[in-house]
């Protein structure tokens, strides 16, 4: 996959994304959100914010600032409408590549990476950028589909991976390299969404 194919896929998905994926991914969003203890003054980064489905779910009783990033302007246009609809004054959006974030080091207290790692050309660059912009001790949440250990399912996912570009994601994406390269202290791993087909990883950046 490359960025052009990803943008093309999500340009097609944008008009129907909420209807097709909103309910399917809702459990994962809720579990991710409930895993975090937000504190007043927190700066939160959400990579792959998409149409902004999660934005109204951030707590409104705590003074936090949420920055949403996505490479698809078509998805961000829908996210902006959601911000206006819900009157969210603590959110801002950027059209930006998650592999090359235009933020200073140590910028964010909490980072949400929802359904992103298997839809980017180089997930390890994304993980490196996450570590760079995260403050020491920051919470980092990944929710993603990872290739299953069941040999029949794994064979199907491997065959399906040849269609990764038009699908807009890689269905044959293993978890082990993520755990080895993410550079976080992993505190929680939990299956989420329909049939537990997706996984939430909650990690914390080492304190300096």
Q: Which of these ranges, 17-21, 172-176, 179-183, 197-201, has the smallest mean pLDDT?
A: 17-21
Please choose, from the candidates 173, 32, 183, 34, the residue with its C-alpha nearest in 3D space to the C-alpha of residue 111. Answer: 32
Q: Please say whether the beta carbons of 99 and 129 come within 8 A.
A: yes
Asked if residue 157 has pLDDT above 60, the reply is no
Domain span at 132: 3-204
pLDDT in tens, 119-128: 788 888 999 9
Length of the chain: 208
Q: What is the DSSP letter of 103?
A: S
Put simply, whether the predicted model's pTM sits higher than 0.85 gets the answer no
- 25 backbone dihedrals φ, ψ, rounded to 5°: -95, 0
Query: CA-to-CA distance for 4 and 97, rounded, in angstroms?
Result: 12
End-to-end CA distance of the chain: 35
The CATH number of the domain holding residue 48 is 3.40.50.150
Q: What are the structure tokens assigned to 10, written together?
A: 């999500």
Query: CA-to-CA distance for 84 and 122, rounded, in angstroms?
Result: 33
Q: How many structural domains does the chain have?
A: 1
What kind and span of H or E run contains 123? helix 123-133
Query: CA-to-CA distance for 79 and 92, rounded, in angstroms?
Result: 10
Instruction: Tell me which range, 74-83, 159-168, 182-191, is most confidently predicted by mean pLDDT.
Output: 74-83
Asked if residue 147 has pLDDT above 50, the reply is yes
Burial of residue 45, with CB atoms counted within 10 A of its CB: 0-12 exposed, 13-18 middle, 19 or more buried: buried
Q: What is the per-residue pLDDT for 34? A: 92
The partner residues of 203 in beta bridges, in order of sequence, read: 140, 186
Per-residue pLDDT averaged across 31-56, rounded?
Answer: 94
């Amino acid at each position: 996959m490359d960025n052009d194919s990803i943008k093309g896929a999500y340009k097609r998905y944008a008009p129907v994304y909420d209807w097709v994926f909103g309910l399917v991914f809702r459990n994962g969003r809720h579990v991710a959100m409930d895993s975090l203890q937000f504190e007043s003054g927190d700066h939160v980064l959400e990579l792959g914010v998409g149409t902004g489905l999660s934005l109204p779910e951030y707590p409104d009783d705590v003074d936090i600032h949420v920055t949403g990033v996505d490479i698809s302007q078509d998805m961000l246009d829908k996210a902006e409408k959601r911000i206006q609809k819900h009157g969210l004054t603590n959110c801002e959006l950027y059209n930006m590549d998650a592999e090359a974030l235009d933020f200073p080091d140590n910028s964010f207290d909490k980072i949400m990476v929802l359904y992103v790692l298997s839809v980017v050309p180089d997930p390890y660059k994304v993980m490196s950028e996450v570590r760079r912009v995260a403050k020491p001790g920051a919470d980092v949440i990944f929710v993603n589909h990872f290739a299953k250990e069941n040999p029949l399912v794994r064979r199907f996912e491997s065959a399906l991976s040849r269609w990764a570009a038009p699908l807009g994601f890689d269905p044959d994406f293993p978890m082990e390299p993520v755990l080895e390269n993410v550079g976080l202290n992993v505190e929680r791993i939990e299956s989420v969404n329909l049939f537990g087909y997706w996984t939430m990883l909650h990690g914390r950046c080492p304190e300096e």
